[in-house]
């Protein structure tokens, strides 16, 4: 299996597994605070955002971040909203085809970024309702932080 295929398979499995039974404004607060706590424990300078149906439910910029991180959050979340999949997965699928997202998607790169860090909020029985995103680390680490937080969140609320 190629490196791209392995990455795609791993992210697809994460997306199948990390589905929520429900998601409201209080859930967004708890998940966002969990991500912030994990990042602070690691000294990671990240900005965190959670959106549902076009509404920003949570935003936190930790020390060491800049307005650029906000722009990255928005661009990555637009990819999740458009494709219904994590920004990391969308980028990996384009790379597996030998094409860059920026060149091949025909979408404005100032508005869309298929870089790791935005993950779909998938409610079982409903579908993708929004996105949770992190910006500030290398893309694989942004993605991994969100996945770890969702895993912990789902374990705590089970």
* Domains annotated on the chain, with CATH: 3-157 (3.30.450.150)
pLDDT on residue 1: 59
Query: What pLDDT score was predicted for residue 22?
Result: 95
Contact 99/48 with Cβ under 8 angstroms?
Answer: no
Q: What is the pLDDT of residue 3?
A: 83
Residue 103 has what pLDDT? 87
User: Could you tell me the strand order of the sheet in which 118-123 lies?
Assistant: 55-61, 47-52, 127-135, 118-123
> pLDDT at position 98, please?
86
pLDDT value, residue 100: 87
pTM of the entire predicted model = 0.95
Are 117 and 142 in contact by the 8 Å Cβ rule? The answer is yes
Angstrom CA distances, 11 to 67, 75, 115, stand at 28, 19, 13
Q: State the Cα–Cα distance between residues 145 and 147, nearest whole angstrom.
A: 5
Task: Report the pLDDT value the prediction gives residue 158, as an integer from 0 to 100.
Answer: 75
Q: How far apart are CA 13 and CA 106, in angstroms?
A: 27
- Mention every residue, 6+ apart, whose C-beta is less than 8 A from residue 29: 57, 58
User: What confidence score (pLDDT) does residue 99 get?
Assistant: 82
Residues of the chain below pLDDT 50: none
Tokens of 101: 């997202």
The tens digit of pLDDT for each residue in 23-63 reads 999 999 999 999 999 999 999 999 999 999 989 999 999 99
Provide CB contacts within 8 A for 152, sequence distance 6+.
34, 38
């Amino acid at each position: 299996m190629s490196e791209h295929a392995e990455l795609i398979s791993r992210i697809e499995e994460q997306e199948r597994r990390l589905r929520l039974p429900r998601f409201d404004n209080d859930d967004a607060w708890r998940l966002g605070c969990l991500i912030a706590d994990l990042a602070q424990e690691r000294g990671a300078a990240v900005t965190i955002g959670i959106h549902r149906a076009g509404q920003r439910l949570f935003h936190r910029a930790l020390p060491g971040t800049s307005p650029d991180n906000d722009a990255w959050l928005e661009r990555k979340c637009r990819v999740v909203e458009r494709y219904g999949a994590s920004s990391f997965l969308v980028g990996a699928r384009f790379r597996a085809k030998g094409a860059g997202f920026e060149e091949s998607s025909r979408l404005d790169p100032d508005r869309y970024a298929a870089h790791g860090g935005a993950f779909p909020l998938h409610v079982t029985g409903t579908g993708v309702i929004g996105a949770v995103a992190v910006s500030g680390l290398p893309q694989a680490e942004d993605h991994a932080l969100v996945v770890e937080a969702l895993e912990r969140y789902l374990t705590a609320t089970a």
